Structure 1
Amino acid sequence: MNKLFGILLSASVLTLSACGNKPEQNQTSKENDTGSTQTLKTIKLVSTGADTDIWKYISELPETKQAGIDLKVTNLTDYVVLNTSVASGEQDVNAFQSFNYLAAYNASNKEKVAAVATTYFEPMGIYANTVKSVDQFQQGATIAIPNDTANEARALSLLQTAGLIKLKPEFDLAKGTVNDVISNPKNLKLKPVQMTTAVRVKKDVDAIVLGNTLALEGGLNVLKDSVFREPADQSTKLYVNLLGVAEANKNDPAYTKLGELYHLPKVQQFVTEKFSGTKVEVNQPISEFTDIK
Structure 2
Amino acid sequence: MKKQGLSVLMVAILLFSLAGCSVNTTTNGSKKDIIKVGVTAGPFEEITNKVKEVAKKQGMNIEPVVFNDYMTPNRALTAGEIDVNVYQNIPFLKQYNHDHNTHIVPVGKTVAMLMGIYSKKYKSVQDIPDGATVGLQNDPVNRSRALHVYQQAGLITLKPGTDEDKATVQDIEKNPKHLKFKELEAGLLARTLDSLDASTINGNYALQAGYEPKKDSIFLENDDKYVNVVATNKKDKNNPAYKKLVQLYNSDEVKKFIKEKYKGVVITFNKPFELND
**Fold-level match, TM-score > 0.5?**
yes
Distance 1:199 1:57, change over 3 A: same
1:44 corresponds in structure 2 to: 36
1:133 corresponds in structure 2 to: 124
Displacement after TM superposition at 1:121 (Å)? 1.5
Q: Give, in whole Å, the separation in 1 of the partners of 2:175 and 2:276.
A: 32
2:261 corresponds in structure 1 to: 274
2:25 corresponds in structure 1 to: 27
Q: Give, in whole Å, the separation in 2 of the partners of 1:91 and 1:138.
A: 46
Q: Give, in whole Å, the separation in 2 of the partners of 1:101 and 1:135.
A: 30
Contact 1:240 1:282 in 2 (8 A): no
Match of residue 91, structure 1, among 72, 82, 94 = 82
Displacement after TM superposition at 1:41 (Å)? 3.1
Stretches of structure 1 lacking an aligned partner (at least 5 in a row): 1-22, 30-38
Contact 1:118 1:283 in 2 (8 A): no
Q: Give, in whole Å, the separation in 2 of the partners of 1:149 and 1:172.
A: 11
Contact 1:87 1:247 in 2 (8 A): no
Worse-superposed segment, 91-100 or 50-59: 50-59
Match of residue 188, structure 2, among 191, 197, 218 = 197
Match of residue 199, structure 2, among 202, 205, 208 = 208
Displacement after TM superposition at 1:285 (Å)? 4.5
Which structure 2 residues correspond to residues 116-265 of structure 1 after superposition, within 5 A? Answer: 116-232=107-223, 236-237=224-225, 239-265=226-252
1:129 is paired with a residue whose SS is coil
Q: Give, in whole Å, the separation in 2 of the partners of 1:150 and 1:258.
A: 26
Contact 1:49 1:75 in 2 (8 A): yes
Residues 133-166 of structure 1: CA distance to partner in whole angstroms, max 9, x if unpaired? 2222211011111112211111001111111112
2:51 corresponds in structure 1 to: 58
Q: Give, in whole Å, the separation in 2 of the partners of 1:221 and 1:196.
A: 17
2:154 is paired with a residue whose SS is coil
Q: Give, in whole Å, the separation in 2 of the partners of 1:221 and 1:171.
A: 31
Q: Give, in whole Å, the separation in 1 of the partners of 2:104 and 2:270.
A: 20
Q: Give, in whole Å, the separation in 2 of the partners of 1:48 and 1:198.
A: 15
Contact 1:103 1:174 in 2 (8 A): no
2:189 is paired with a residue whose SS is helix
Contact 2:96 2:102 in 1 (8 A): no
Q: Give, in whole Å, the separation in 2 of the partners of 1:201 and 1:40.
A: 40
Contact 1:147 1:192 in 2 (8 A): yes
- Opposite residue 148 of structure 1, the aligned amino acid is D
1:34 corresponds in structure 2 to: none
Q: Give, in whole Å, the separation in 2 of the partners of 1:286 and 1:266.
A: 18
Worse-superposed segment, 81-90 or 112-121: 81-90
> TM-score, normalising length from structure 2?
0.84
Displacement after TM superposition at 1:265 (Å)? 1.6
Q: Give, in whole Å, the separation in 2 of the partners of 1:199 and 1:138.
A: 20
- Opposite residue 105 of structure 1, the aligned amino acid is Y
Could you say what the CA RMSD is over the residues aligned between the two structures, in angstroms? 2.1
1:191 is paired with a residue whose SS is strand
Stretches of structure 2 lacking an aligned partner (at least 5 in a row): 1-20
Q: Give, in whole Å, the separation in 1 of the partners of 2:85 and 2:257.
A: 20
Residues 27-66 of structure 1: CA distance to partner in whole angstroms, max 9, x if unpaired? 379xxxxxxxxx96321111011221221222233x4452
Contact 2:108 2:275 in 1 (8 A): no
Contact 2:134 2:199 in 1 (8 A): yes
- Opposite residue 46 of structure 2, the aligned amino acid is D
Amino-acid identity (%)? 36
Larger radius of gyration: 2
Displacement after TM superposition at 1:172 (Å)? 2.5
Q: Give, in whole Å, the separation in 2 of the partners of 1:184 and 1:242.
A: 34
